Structure 1
Amino acid sequence: MTPAIKLAQKQKIAHTVHEYHHDPRAESYGLEAAEALGIAAEQVFKTLLVALTGHKSPLAVAIVPVNKQLSLKSIAKALGAKKADMADPKVAEKTTGYVVGGISPLGQKKALPTVLDSSADALATIHVSAGKRGLEIELSPADLLRLTRGTSAAIAA
């Protein structure tokens, strides 16, 4: 049981955990999850950490569909930062407590500003990493935002 799943249970959030066999040779963990679970890539979201310049927090979390790229300009604008760059993977792992490819937006070691791409607004549920490769948690975008104290903005390119 991962911290992400424990948080959803503790907060009594409706969710479903999906497990699949992870292939370490997969080029995209998110696309692998969509294919393995037989769901549209637009419904599976990846969790990315960004380093911010000109913001009170040095790091933030971006959650975007696995078939899209993160717009660094858009995430910076959404958070009121001067600039955003991808965070160093080692820093991301140390800060979240999860390994790259299995970073969940839920249950991270440190609460960070979080932005969910607004494409999720049109979906009843989305899938995000449940905290390890081969494990996804399905929940409503509203519940994800509530649990992360996040906001929604158009941040996918």
Structure 2
Amino acid sequence: MRILDQHSIPYMVHEYPHKNEAVDGIHVASLLNQNVEQVYKTLVLISNTRQYFVFMIPVHLQLDLKKCAKIAQVKSVDMIPVKEINKITGYVRGGCSPLGMKKEYPIFIYEECVLYDTICFSGGKIGLQIEMNPMDLIELRHIKCVDCVKA
């Protein structure tokens, strides 16, 4: 949120109940009374060349790893192991945000995000979501809009 404040980008914060453990995204959308198509999860992938890539997709959809590899211009990609999330991003599982990671990795977002005035995504910890205009996020982080989900 400090990053958004520094750039004078408007956003809203939503909190939801949890027991210090990750809550699945569909449940988060329900708790926040949000459309699942507007609540995004942030997923970190590693390529066969040991590069990291971040993909953001609606919580009810699944990544297509073959599409992701093609988008990232590598032979293959896989999800990073859960135990490595904190080391790579600085966040915990269920609290991974596209903002404020330890390093800036290439980020891709599902292309249909632009159909909505706002989307929600993790605010960096479990129980906290940021809602903002997807175009502001895309511009701030130089995110590419792509088709990266399973049909």
- Alignment equivalent of 2:125, drawn from 129, 132, 156: 132
Counterpart of 1:112 (choices 96, 100, 105) is 105
Query: Which ranges in structure 2 are unaligned for 5 or more consecutive residues?
Result: none
Query: Residues 122, 129 of structure 1: CA spacing in aligned structure 2 closer, same or farther, 3 A cutoff?
Result: same
Partner Cα separation in structure 2 for residue 129 and residue 41 of structure 1: 14
The alignment-based identity, stated in percent, is 37
RMSD: 1.6
Consecutive unaligned residues in structure 1, runs of 5 or more: none
Structure-1-length-normalised TM-score: 0.89
Q: 1:27 to 1:149 in 2, by over 3 A?
A: same
TM-score by length of 2: 0.93
Question: 1:97 and 1:25, CA in 2 relative to 1: closer, same or farther beyond 3 A?
Answer: closer
Residue correspondence of structure 1 range 6-155 to structure 2 within 5 A: 6-23=2-19, 28=24, 30-54=25-49, 58-155=51-148
**Residue aligned with 2:129, SS:** strand
After TM superposition, the structure 1 stretch with the greater mean CA deviation from structure 2, 60-69 or 138-147, is 138-147
Aligned length: 150
Task: Spell out, residue by residue over 1:106-133, the C-alpha distance to the aligned partner (whole angstroms, 9 max, x if none).
Answer: 1111000100011212111100000011
